[in-house]
Amino acid sequence: MITSIAIAVGLLEASCAERDAALTAADHVEIQQLVNRLNFALDYCGRSGSDFADLFIEDGHFTIDRGDGMPIVRTGREALIELAGGPDCESRRVPPSAYILHLAESLVVEAQAGGARGKSYAIYPSSQGRRVSEEVAGQLGVYYDEYVRTAEGWRFKSRRHVVNPVAEGLEF
């Protein structure tokens, strides 16, 4: 009898956890908008980089993984503002950043404990007819995101940009 009750309680808890972890259509739209806003905030250094930092939780982080075993990690508001070019936005006015736009395409979002996760293609086409270098007109990578719901709506907990992904290395 006690075993039956314990199993029933366990199944009920699992069912509640699955329900709580499910994402609504509104969640998917809000997360998609969050991802889209990030691209504009990063490319145009909105409000001196604050628009970009506002899309992350307080201790959120952005990682650039070039596959060399030495990822670049920016954690916290001030580091994220700097990554977006702030506070003076000068880095967004000079090459190569002046020639790069960020696109996140084919976003896939899944519920996970404590929020959601997503992955999308990271596409960096060149702009103004300019190239980043003689060899590079743009770039393709993959973003891996973790999102959490806050009082202000969905925010990034983390974003990892894998610069040169290999097919067998792709996650979920």
User: Is residue 11 in some structural domain?
Assistant: no
Q: How many domains does the chain fold into?
A: 1
User: Is residue 34 in some structural domain?
Assistant: yes
- What CATH number is attached to the domain comprising 99? 3.10.450.50
User: Is residue 12 in some structural domain?
Assistant: no
Q: What does the pLDDT read at residue 71?
A: 94
| Closest among 78, 66, 82 to 139, alpha carbons compared | 66
Query: What are 150's strand-pairing partners?
Result: 153
Q: What does each C-alpha distance from 28 to 22, 130, 153 come to in angstroms? A: 11, 35, 12
- How far apart are the C-alpha atoms of 68 and 84, rounded to whole Å? 23
Q: What does the pLDDT read at residue 5?
A: 46
DSSP E strands, 17-114: 56-65, 72-75, 103-112
Strands 56-65, 153-162: pairing is: parallel
Query: What are 108's strand-pairing partners?
Result: 119
Three-state secondary structure call for residue 165: coil
R_g of the chain, CA atoms, integer Å: 19
Q: What does the pLDDT read at residue 94?
A: 84
Q: Contact, 171 vs 144, CB < 8 A?
A: yes
User: Is residue 7 in some structural domain?
Assistant: no
User: Is residue 3 in some structural domain?
Assistant: no
For residue 76, the enclosing domain spans: 24-169
Q: What does the pLDDT read at residue 152?
A: 96
- Tell me the pTM: 0.82
Q: What does the pLDDT read at residue 128?
A: 63
User: Is residue 120 in some structural domain?
Assistant: yes
User: Is residue 10 in some structural domain?
Assistant: no
H-helix or E-strand spanning residue 150: strand 138-150
Q: What does the pLDDT read at residue 135?
A: 62
User: Is residue 17 in some structural domain?
Assistant: no
What single-letter DSSP state applies at residue 100? B
pLDDT mean values, one per 10 residues, the chain (172 residues): 48 45 94 97 94 98 92 97 94 80 93 97 76 66 96 98 80 70
